[in-house]
Every structure is written in C-alpha cells, then in structure tokens.
Structure 1
Amino acid sequence: MTAETAWQRPASTGLLTKLMTAVRPQFRVEVYLPDPGDRILGRPLCSVLGCDRSGAEHRLCSAHGFRWRAAGCPDMSVFLADPGPLLHGRIELSGCAVDGCRYGTHGLGLCTRHRGRFTRSGQSEPATWAATFPTVSEPDHAQRGLPFCSLWIEYRHQLFCKSHHTRWCQLGRPAIQDYITHCLDRGKARINFSTLTPQLKLEFQYAVQRRFDDNSITAPTPVINWAIRVAANAGVSSLLDYDEDHWRAMTASKSSCSYQGFLIHARNAVELLAQGTGWEVEYDRDIWRLHTLPGVTRNPGKTDNARNNLRFDRISQPWLRNLAKRWIRQRLVSGLAVSTVLVDAGAVTRFSRFLDQCSPTISSLAGVDRPLLERYLGWPAGQNGSQAMREDAVTCLHTFFQAIRQHGWDDSLPTTAAFFPGDAPRRPPAASRQLSEHVMAQIESPANLDRWSHPQCRLLTLILIRCGLRASDATSLDFGCLIHDGQGAPQGPGKVADRSCRAVLAGQHEFEWSVGVSGVMSDGFCDVAGSVQSKKSDGQVS
C-alpha cells in the first residue's frame, strides 16, 4: 500500500461522547453475565442436575468435565446419573462437631473455641468429646454476608464466616457487594471489562452490544475475554490506535479464526461509529465496506448485515482506480447485486495487473488502445482461473469502457479501445448441477436419514430436500425466523423462510416425528435454523 493510501486513525473528537450515548446500561457494567438462553453471547447451563455453572465441553462445566475425564469418559447418561458430590463453592462448609455450634472448623472438626477446650480436656478423641459436650444454644447469631452460607460469623465486626472471611482477605478485601457477586457467579460465563481503560472499556462494550443486536454470529465469552486481554496487553487507549492489518498481525498466532474475528469486528464497529456510514465516507476509501452502504442489493441468501469488502487497493494505477470507483458506484446504485459487482471489480483489477506486467509505461487512459487490448486478450489464458474468469476479463472490461464513454468520465479514451464480438473466449457447455437419481435415493433413504446423531439435523435435511433450499439459504435465517398471523399460524418473513415454512407445513406429521416433539412448526424450525447458524459461525458448515 502506498503512502497516499496508508491507513490514518480517524479523528477521535466526539468518539467518547458517541460511545457513552450508544452503549446501553445493560452492557455498561464491569462484569457482564449473559443469560444462559442467549443464543449469541450465552452458554447453556451444565447438564448435571442442580449445577448452575455454565457448560462448555460436552455441555459440562469445567469442574464436572474434569470429573468426567477422570472417570475415563464414560457414557454421558451414566455420568449424569452419578456426577459425584456438590462442587466446591456450592457445597455447604463443614461446621463444628459440637451439637448446636455453627462456627466453622479450625482443625479436628472443631471450631476455634471448642478446639481449645478439647485440647485442655486431655482427651484423645475429638468426636467422642464433642458428643458429650452440652448442646450450644446461641439464638442471637444473625445470618449476614453470603446468602448460601449458614455458618456463624466469628466476630461481630465481620460479615462472613471464618473460611469466607479468609477468602475475602486473599482477594485483597474487595468491596463487600463485589465479593458476594464474585462468590455467587463463580463458574458462570462472564465478560470482564474491568481491566480496560475507560474509553477502551466502552469500545468493547459497544462491540459486544453490536454483536448482540445483530443476532447473527455467536460470540462465546472465552472469545470476547481473549480479545479484551489482547487489547489490554497492547497498551492502547483505543482500538483505533492500530489499523486492521496491525491487529491481524498481532493475533496471527491464534489458531481459531473466531478469536481474531471478534477483535477485528470490535475495531470495525468502533470505526463505523466514529466515522459514520454512507457513500461520503466510503468513496474515498480504498477498501469499501459494502455492508455499510445503504440501498445495496445483497447476494441471494445473505442477510442485510453480511460483510462484504470491495478492494480497490489492488489497482496500482491511480487514474484507473478513480475510474473504477465511479463505475462500481454507478453499478451498485443501479441495483446490481454485490456478487455481480465483485466480478466487475475483479476484472478491472486483473487489467491493472496486466498493465503492471506488460505495459508499465502507460500513465493515463489515453494509452489504452486496440493494439494494447489485443495483447490483453492473450494474457488471461496464461493466468490461473476458470473459463468464466477469462470470459469476464473481456466482457466486464468492455462494459467498463462503454460506461466511461457514455457518462463522459474521461474523454481521453481512444475510440479504438473496444472489444468486438468473438473476442471473448467461448464458454463450454455447463455441466448439470443436479444430483443423480441414485445419489438422491441414498440421501432420502429413511435408514440414512436416521444416521443423523441430532434430530434437528435430520429435520433440516428434510426441509432442504422438500423446498430445494441451499445450505446458505438455511443458514441466513434469523433466530426466531417465523412470524404468526392473527390465527396463530406460522409464516416466513421472506421468500426463503416462506418456502421453508410451507415445507414444514406440507410434511407436518413426518417432521414432528423426526424431532420427537409436537408443535415443531412454531419453534422447532427456528431452533434448527439457529443451530445451523451457530455452527456456521464456528466454521462447521460451509
């Protein structure tokens, strides 16, 4: 990238004000605990009955997951039937062995007071001594501090029992309410913003809020917390202190793309808030963020917030880049789909590469004439690419020159700079894209459908077969995609969802059997689409 196109940090004037206005109180907290039922940020509870911690691997919390692996990874139903005693932090702390005494133990199963008396008694068995000790009756012990701890407080100036008071001191004596919250939320999925500087904290809170509002791609709490640690360790005051390429280089060692992806999402969200959106913002950039432009026709099967970048930085000639921007903008505002315009931009980029390799001395559009184009006709054949790419290299460039003449963008274009019928290579007959009958018979076979380990995937397969949907159509549906009319009948909000809904209604009994529940039309299909969307964001669905 040249010095003229190098990234410059947007002016930060007003960004802090915009962040304070945009971030809702729900997310402006030091520690955010997503709801376990939140499809985007939440994590389901541990599968062990009565465990309120967040599930992770095999839908078990980390502690129960450790027990499951220590037991030799038995069948999950066997482990869930006997997962062992309650976990530390949820189990009742042991109290003094003397009847009626609820002070915490200090050794030998006795509290501090009774242990001293036992030592002075000269006896050898603390359990026998405790059984003969008179019952303690002290009804004035008020329960304060932690709501789940029933032990007595050692001293009146304290708020916790002996064990929890020691733990409070080990944590640095935080605020009482913060310590209580820490104990109550231990083991639950959380997003910790407390380590960030004020503006950086607001930026990440805004990024999490945006991901929540988009309701499209999941953002697990470990992913967000990792991105927060990276930004905090970088010593920046704002995500905009570094450009996107710098953040990518810093996080290139992370194997999973979702971790790096959320950090880039956070930076882009803050940049959009700082700069605004629209043609006036995007046009001067060398990389257009098409998802921020109004009125752009999305690709079939893609949602409105689907990300698409259009790169002009690969066009090395400034005069060609400026003309390509005018042409691409005109194509987009005329209603052409993003996929078509990306092909157009790719053709101009290839022509730019041809000029660099074969005619580097051309410095303006006036140097583009028919002899040059005749040399260009033979150049795509030596490049890697499909037959369609070679055809687009000619047809798209021909349309580009026509637009320059029609709109008068540059009168220096020679009249001989044109392509003629027969210049473009002939495209071979396209192969049939439909599956053969014997393949479809195998897919539709009930025995093969029953090989799905999840009934939701079996249901989704039936829906795709019945209504002819592509996988991209199914994965682009929003969570809770169905709407209901006045009589409560489910309907799809758009053409794709409507076809899916009709497919569900057409095979109601078969679909209900496939998931083993009733009422699948109203909830089951949405759960299926949401499940596939989550898998798509993790790279499990192509």
Structure 2
Amino acid sequence: MTVPAVSLRAVEQADEDTFTSGLWAAVEPEFLALLGWSAEVRVLFFPFDHPLLGTPLCRAKGCSQTSRARGLCSGCRLRWREAGMPPLEEFVEMDRPRRQVGVEECAVAGCARPFMSWRQPVCSTHLAQLRRRQVTLEEFLTLDDVVPLAPFGPCEVAACHRNRDGKSPYCHAHQVRWAHAVSRGLSTEEEERWRRTTPPVTANNEVSLRGLSERVVAEILFGIQARTREGFHTTPFLIRNLTNRLRELELPSLTAVEPSQVSRGVRGICNSLVTLVGRFGLTPDGERTKDVWNGAVFGLAGHLRFTAIHQPWLREAAKEWAFFSIPQRRGRVLSSVQDILSAFALLSESLRLQREDHGNDIRAVGRRDITAFTNRIAFLRNTGAISARRSVVACRYIRSNLVRMRSLGLTRPGQPLHGLADDFALLAEDIPDDPEDTEAGKDLPVEVMRRICEHLPSLVGTKRNGNENHVAVELLIDTGRRPQEISQLRWDCLKQDADGQHVLIYDNYKANRKGRRLPISQATAGVITRQQELIRADFPATPTADLMLLPTRVANPHGRKPITAGWLSGRHREWIRSLPDFLVPTRVESEGQPVTRMLPFDKSKIFLYAYRHTYCQRHADAGVPVDVLRELMDHRRLDTTQAYYRVTEERRREAVDRVTEMQFDRHGKRIWRQAKALLDSEHARRAVGEVAVPYGVCTEPSNVAAGGQDCPVRFRCVGCGHFRTDVSYLPDLEAYLSDLLRNRERLAAALDADDWAKAEAMPSDEEIRRVRRLIKRVKDGLDDLDDNQKAEIEEAVAVVRRGRQSVLLGMPRVRQPLPDLRPERPA
C-alpha cells in the first residue's frame, strides 16, 4: 500500500511549519526590538551605532548616508574623485550640495499621503491647492480649510512599504521603475510577477523582508542573531542584496540557494546564514546516528565524517567510540578524532577489497584479515600512497582503539562489535618500525634565520588582521614555543620573577600544563609590552583579564578571541613565499672535488614549528646543558629534547671524519694525520670504546666501563695516555686553562689553609704547560689550513659540539645568558 503524495506533502509542510515556528521562537524579542522589527511593516532598521550591526555614516559634512569606502558614501566618494582627490580631512569639511533622499509624509498635520519632494513637502493634492491659492507654504499650513487626507493605500509592489501618491497602484519610485520596465519590453502579462520580485526602494539602513516566505524571514532573523552572538559584523547592504536576490528567485528557503545563483559578495553571507540555521535544533544524540557530524553540536569546530568506513558494524562502532572520546579531547578542533577515523577507513578499505563479503559479516573476520591489512599497509607505503610515518601512526591508532572499543563494552550483545573474534586485533609486532626521519634537520640555518629577522618588518598586517602576525612570528623565534601556545597568549602574559627578570606566562596545551614560566630577554619583553599598548588602545572597554595578546580581527569586537595557529601558518607561508631566495653555503661536488657554494634554501622547510627546533638548536650550540634545555622546551623526557637537535648520522659522521683529522694525544702530537675517513669499525669503536671527559675523550677501559666515574688518575687527563682531544674541544681547553690559572691565584692568596692542603689542591706547573701546549698545537694546526679548509673544519666542529652532551663534575656553574639572534634590538 503506497502513501498518497498529498499525505506526504502534508507531513513535509507540517515539518516545515514546525521548523519555522522553532526559528521564530529562538529569535529573542530584545533582538527584534534592536532591529526595529514590526510584524506588520516587516522591515529591519539596522542601528547606525551598533558595533556589529551598524555602518558608520559618511564623514562628509551634512551627509546622512552610510559610508562604504574611505569613510565616504558612494555619492561623496564620486565628488571626492571629481575634485581631484584632495586630502580626506580637507574634503569632508567642504560644503556639499544639499541633496535629501527618502520620502516623508505630507507637511499638513495628520495627512497620511507622501510628500512630492524635499523642496515641496506636501502631497500632490495639497500641492495643487497651494498653487491655486498662490500663498507661501507657511501661510498655507496655517489655513483652517487645509485638512489632512486619507492615504491612497500601500504600494502594490510586494517588497515596498511606502504608500501610493495617487491613483497609480505604485508609489512614485515604483511608478518610474514600472514605466522603465515597460519601455524595455516588459509586457503587462508579466506585471504580476514584477510586483512580486522587484526590489524595494533602497533606504540607508533599511532592509525590507516583505515579499519573502515566512521561513526565509525566520531564517534571516535567526541567522543575523546568531552571527551577532558569535561576534560577526553584518552589514545592511549585504543582507539587502541577499533578500533582493531571494525575492527574485522566489525560493522557499535559504537552503535552496545554489552558489551559482548569487554573486560572490552575497554568497559569503548566504553560506554563513545557512550554516548557522543548519545548527538549529541539533543535539549530540541526534548527530550520533548520522554519517557526518557537525562539530558545533559538541562545541567544537569542523565536522566528523564516517562515510569512508564501509562496513556497517565498524562504522557504528567508530561512532560509539567517537561519541565517548570527544569529551576527553583538548582543543576546539576535531582533527585528532578524524585522524583516527581515517586510520579505521584504511582498515575498512582493506576488508572491502580483500574479502568476498567485503567485510560485512562481522563473525567471519579474524586474524587473517589483520595480516592482510598489514600487508596492504606495507604495499601502500612501498608504492608511496602513504608515508612511512602515516603507516606507523595508523597501525598504532587501530591497535589502541580496538582495545578501547572492547573496553567500552561494544562487543556485548546488542552492541556493534558483538560477535567480533578476539584475534581481530593488531599485536605489537604488527606495528611497522618507526622511521627516524624526524630525528633532526628541522632547525633552520643561521643564514636563513638572519634573513628572516631582517625581513620581519615587512610582515605587517592590514587593518583587518592588525600587527598580530608580525608579533606572533617574532615571539615564535624568540621563545621557541609552539604556534598554539603563542597564538593563545593572554594580554597579561608578561611577569617578573624575584630577581626582576622577565618571564613569559603561557599554557602548554599539548601536555595540558597551565601557567608555564619561560625566561625571556629584555628585547622580547619589549615586543610584548608594545603589543600590549596597541591592544589596550584598540579595546579600551574590555578588562585586561579578558583580553588576548594576539586577538583576531574577525568576529571579535571585544578582543577576547585569539588568532588561530592555522591562520597564522597561512599568513606566514604567504610571507615566506614573497621573500627573495635565502642563499646558504652548500657542499656540492665540482669536477670531482667537494666545494662550498651559495645555493637557495628550500622555502618549504621554513614553517612555524621549525622556529621551535631552531630555538632548541640555538641553545644547544650555546652550550646550554641538556637538562636545562629540557626545562626550557617544557619536555618531561630528556630524549624528547635531544630529538630536537640531534644531527643526522650522515652529518655526524662527516663532521667526525673532519674533526678526527685534527686529533691530538696528551703530548700534542697529531693522530690520524693522513686519515681521510674512518672505517666503519672505528666509528663503532668510538661509540662504545670511549667516554667523554671535560675537554676530550677517555679510552681507559675501566673508566669507560664505569661511564667516566672511575678515573685511576683522578681526572688528570693531560697526563694520561688514554686521553684524546681534538679541535672541537678547543673552547673547553681554553676554559680549563683559565680555571687552572684562576685556581692557582686563589690558592696562592689563601691565608687560612695548611701548606699540605694548598699543595694538594694547587694545579701543577706541568699540567698548565701541557694544556698550553695542547692549545698551541691545535691552533697551529688550524693556521696551516687554507680558508676553505678552515670553513669546513668550523662547520664540522659546530655539528660535533651540537650533538655533544655537557660533562659536569659537580662543580657549580653560573647561569649563562640565553642566546639572542638579534642582539642589536632595543630592549
């Protein structure tokens, strides 16, 4: 038995009426009053002075029109161009021709008919009487027999709320329009549709909703209210253009508008209203049954899509897992959840392609399907369809979240995974090996960083995005924080510690640690202070506790919303692409010989997170101990910090080869003078057969076995045959010599110490001579090199020292100043 089409249409109409009634109920009376809404007139009057709904008036003296560009209305802007575009400050004070627009009622008291014009402010009937009597207007208005007249009735154009000015069915403006339409060939048979679709007379801040369906009116009002709540600015002329187009298309709802049916300018406001109206009535429980979830229902941005998971049982299980997991996620985006769903989409695709039943029978899948999946992952990785990193992450996601689904009880009777075999699970050995392509190489060369800092002044914002992008990038470079941590900084993020030094207060969102403190330089504090002054001036009415240091200039009238890391990344990428090439010294082979040439640096490697790696590398190169560096990076584990600045094995080996050519024993004699490269076995021996000491390495077996804590000569390294040093330890040798000399002077001046104690602690003359000889031999070896060789050795030394951990002997250290890329900056 089929349901009659009339019955189905009645049900749809009832649903539409219910939805429309719900929208009307959601529009607050206070908001309707703000727009001057009347159910009889059906015209919106946008307030001029509202920060989100108003449009400023024209700056020209005596003009009552709203401004569009440069603070001028279209008419005054034309006058400004015709006047030769003088300075605006002078132009706006010039006298302008008096020209009034709009229609008022007849000047006769109580007369409801429209006047003829601003110069003749009486209706046509009273104007005829005035002319017959040949008196002035003021005298005419005082005559006793001049009485008010009843209106002719409203204009019959659906969108118009003006009265007719005579026997014509239209107001004066639409009389002119209809005559013009007829002159262009419009027939009288088309007059009825012309009345329904022709736009109203444009008036300053007015938008007529007359002639639109009840649902469209409710959608527009609800959408404007929602935009205002979210801080978006809504201009009357865009809403007016949209309503005129909707009236012309005679569509029943905003959702029926096709993108090609509206202009580009109107398309944006239309899409915004459709999006906001589409959220009305949505609930989390209602979304969980759909294949595409609207993140706004959960207070998040974006959508969750389950459409790529083909099997019904796996898709439903993914929905249940997502529904329970979303509240446990930090941040306002759903990308992390969608990444896991994408991993399950890979599993789903494997089942669909490799099983005869396409994986739809949950009781038939098992371990063989997991093996088939891992084989397919390997195939996709080997063919380049997915990256090695994604193959690892996808398998990890599936392994952990299949366990999570089982722990949520999804295998119980009546649940999506009931009947799923226990062996349908990934084991630890099914996870591919984690590639080490993330070990290093993300830090930027010093030459690139210097050029970026030189061009920072060009990263200036417009009125729309302010100065936030410039300040954000400068803080990323100076502090090494993550992009999200910088973009979310509060206005009052700058504090001083007990000794008066500046610290940055930020939140580590990745690790969910709030109120972290980072020491910063005086120059960086100056950047923050200047930005605070600008933001305070831009948002003087907002309490500083609510302000952001880097507020977005979109939908943010009070400065409470920060810029996003994604927005900042996009602006930064555009800026980097606009800069000239960054030339860096690069080792290339020419005619069989390695040479150094200045070649362009790959700009794709310059991204926001690279500044964090560069910050870490900069501090490591400056000799900051790794445990201190871990605290600066706000890492819990030491190996996480080391991964930020470890050099690749290729660079490390090349550097070791070069430095080894200038290795010395305790007597200052060169070792491996003729060596061009170490054997693989020698590289391995260096890794396991020696241990670091303060200014070299030790190969003494018992001390190596004890990790450097069992030196038989009590760290008199320059007198031990197992000691080796090289050119990379030259700064340490010089520092050690200074310590020896300083200690000798201090002990010699000490009064309250026995002679035997002084003799025991006094550095020996022989040790001092040995250290001086070592330093002299190393420097002499450097002097024997030409400029290119020196440059290569210096680069190799930098690489070796970068990967070297500091060796401390429990001696107190004075806190060193943090490295600064631009010491010339004012504080």
Give 1:364 shift.
2.9
Task: Give the Cα separation in 2 of the matches to 1:433 and 1:255.
Answer: 46
Query: For 1:92-131, what aligned pairs fall within 5 Å after superposition?
Result: 104=120
Match of 1:277 in 2: 283
Query: For 1:418-437, what aligned pairs fall within 5 Å after superposition?
Result: 418-421=426-429, 422-423=431-432, 425-426=434-435, 428-429=437-438, 431-432=441-442, 437=449
Larger mean Cα displacement after TM superposition, 507-516 or 334-343: 507-516
Secondary structure of the structure 1 residue equivalent to 2:309? coil
For 2:335, give the aligned amino acid. S
Residue 361 (structure 2) pairs with residue 364 (structure 1):
yes
Give 1:282 shift.
0.9
Gaps of 5+ in 2: 1-10, 105-117, 152-161, 173-200, 412-416, 493-505, 558-562, 572-827
Give the direction of change, closer, same or farther, for the CA distance of 1:226–1:113 in structure 2 (3 Å limit).
closer
Give 1:292 shift.
0.8
Give 1:208 shift.
1.1
Task: Give the Cα separation in 2 of the matches to 1:11 and 1:428.
Answer: 56
Match of 1:392 in 2: 393
For 2:397, give the aligned amino acid. C
Give 1:15 shift.
3.1
Give the direction of change, closer, same or farther, for the CA distance of 1:276–1:352 in structure 2 (3 Å limit).
same
Task: Give the Cα separation in 2 of the matches to 1:520 and 1:391.
Answer: 50
Task: Give the Cα separation in 1 of the matches to 2:329 and 2:357.
Answer: 36
Match of 1:377 in 2: 377
Gaps of 5+ in 1: 1-7, 93-101, 119-134, 143-151, 175-184, 294-303, 483-493
Match of 2:551 in 1: 529
Give 1:360 shift.
6.4
Task: Give the Cα separation in 1 of the matches to 2:205 and 2:78.
Answer: 17
Give 1:113 shift.
8.7
Q: Is the 8 A contact 1:475 1:533 kept in 2?
A: no
Task: Give the Cα separation in 2 of the matches to 1:455 and 1:377.
Answer: 46
Secondary structure of the structure 2 residue equivalent to 1:43? coil
Task: Give the Cα separation in 1 of the matches to 2:488 and 2:237.
Answer: 25
Query: For 1:477-492, what aligned pairs fall within 5 Å after superposition?
Result: none
Q: For residues 460-505 of structure 1, what are the alpha-carbon distances to aligned partners after superposition, in whole Å with 9 as ceiling and x for unaligned?
A: 7447645868887898899xx99xxxxxxxxxxx969999xx9999
Larger mean Cα displacement after TM superposition, 510-519 or 49-58: 510-519
Task: Give the Cα separation in 2 of the matches to 1:471 and 1:41.
Answer: 33
Q: Is the 8 A contact 1:190 1:221 kept in 2?
A: yes
Secondary structure of the structure 1 residue equivalent to 2:293? strand
Question: What is the aligned counterpart of 2:421 among 401, 409, 413?
Answer: 413
Secondary structure of the structure 2 residue equivalent to 1:432? coil
Larger mean Cα displacement after TM superposition, 280-289 or 340-349: 340-349
Match of 1:352 in 2: 348
Q: For residues 303-355 of structure 1, what are the alpha-carbon distances to aligned partners after superposition, in whole Å with 9 as ceiling and x for unaligned?
A: x5x53111112333322211211222222133455331121122223333444
Task: Give the Cα separation in 2 of the matches to 1:319 and 1:402.
Answer: 16
Q: For residues 409-467 of structure 1, what are the alpha-carbon distances to aligned partners after superposition, in whole Å with 9 as ceiling and x for unaligned?
A: 3332351541434525525116537795414532555xx58x76659834774476458
Match of 2:57 in 1: 45
Secondary structure of the structure 2 residue equivalent to 1:438? helix
Q: Is the 8 A contact 2:56 2:71 kept in 1?
A: yes
Q: For residues 55-114 of structure 1, what are the alpha-carbon distances to aligned partners after superposition, in whole Å with 9 as ceiling and x for unaligned?
A: 22333222223334555656544643547424442899xxxxxxxxx98499xxxx9799
Residue 148 (structure 2) pairs with residue 157 (structure 1):
yes
Q: In the comparison of the two structures, how many residue pairs are matched?
A: 443
Give 1:283 shift.
0.7
Task: Give the Cα separation in 2 of the matches to 1:195 and 1:504.
Answer: 59
Query: For 1:82-97, what aligned pairs fall within 5 Å after superposition?
Result: 82=94, 84-89=96-101
Q: Is the 8 A contact 1:46 1:61 kept in 2?
A: yes
Give the direction of change, closer, same or farther, for the CA distance of 1:320–1:43 in structure 2 (3 Å limit).
same
Give 1:288 shift.
0.7
Task: Give the Cα separation in 1 of the matches to 2:484 and 2:392.
Answer: 26
Query: For 1:163-178, what aligned pairs fall within 5 Å after superposition?
Result: 168=165, 172-173=170-171
Match of 1:319 in 2: 313
Give the direction of change, closer, same or farther, for the CA distance of 1:252–1:425 in structure 2 (3 Å limit).
farther
Task: Give the Cα separation in 2 of the matches to 1:506 and 1:36.
Answer: 39
Task: Give the Cα separation in 1 of the matches to 2:344 and 2:397.
Answer: 8
Give the direction of change, closer, same or farther, for the CA distance of 1:526–1:401 in structure 2 (3 Å limit).
closer
Task: Give the Cα separation in 2 of the matches to 1:60 and 1:533.
Answer: 23
Q: For residues 257-306 of structure 1, what are the alpha-carbon distances to aligned partners after superposition, in whole Å with 9 as ceiling and x for unaligned?
A: x7445434434444443x4422x21111111112112xxxxxxxxxx5x5
For 1:315, give the aligned amino acid. I
For 2:553, give the aligned amino acid. S
Q: Is the 8 A contact 2:58 2:65 kept in 1?
A: yes
Match of 1:288 in 2: 293
Question: What is the aligned counterpart of 1:188 among 195, 198, 204?
Answer: 204
Task: Give the Cα separation in 1 of the matches to 2:233 and 2:485.
Answer: 18
Q: For residues 230-280 of structure 1, what are the alpha-carbon distances to aligned partners after superposition, in whole Å with 9 as ceiling and x for unaligned?
A: 5445545445xx5xxx64xx1246564x7445434434444443x4422x2
For 2:361, give the aligned amino acid. S
Give the direction of change, closer, same or farther, for the CA distance of 1:83–1:394 in structure 2 (3 Å limit).
farther
Task: Give the Cα separation in 2 of the matches to 1:186 and 1:307.
Answer: 37
Q: Is the 8 A contact 1:31 1:193 kept in 2?
A: yes
For 1:22, give the aligned amino acid. A
For 2:217, give the aligned amino acid. K
Identity of aligned residues (%): 16
Match of 1:339 in 2: 335
Give the direction of change, closer, same or farther, for the CA distance of 1:324–1:155 in structure 2 (3 Å limit).
same
Q: Is the 8 A contact 1:477 1:530 kept in 2?
A: no
Q: TM-score, normalised by structure 2?
A: 0.44
Q: Is the 8 A contact 1:455 1:515 kept in 2?
A: no
Residue 73 (structure 2) pairs with residue 61 (structure 1):
yes
Query: For 1:254-269, what aligned pairs fall within 5 Å after superposition?
Result: 254=262, 256=264, 259-269=266-276
Higher fraction of strand: 2
Instruction: Give the superposed CA RMSD.
Output: 5.3
Q: TM-score, normalised by structure 1?
A: 0.63
Task: Give the Cα separation in 2 of the matches to 1:261 and 1:508.
Answer: 35
Give the direction of change, closer, same or farther, for the CA distance of 1:351–1:168 in structure 2 (3 Å limit).
farther
Higher relative contact order (CA 8 A, sep 6+): 1
**Larger Rg, first or second structure (1 or 2):** 2
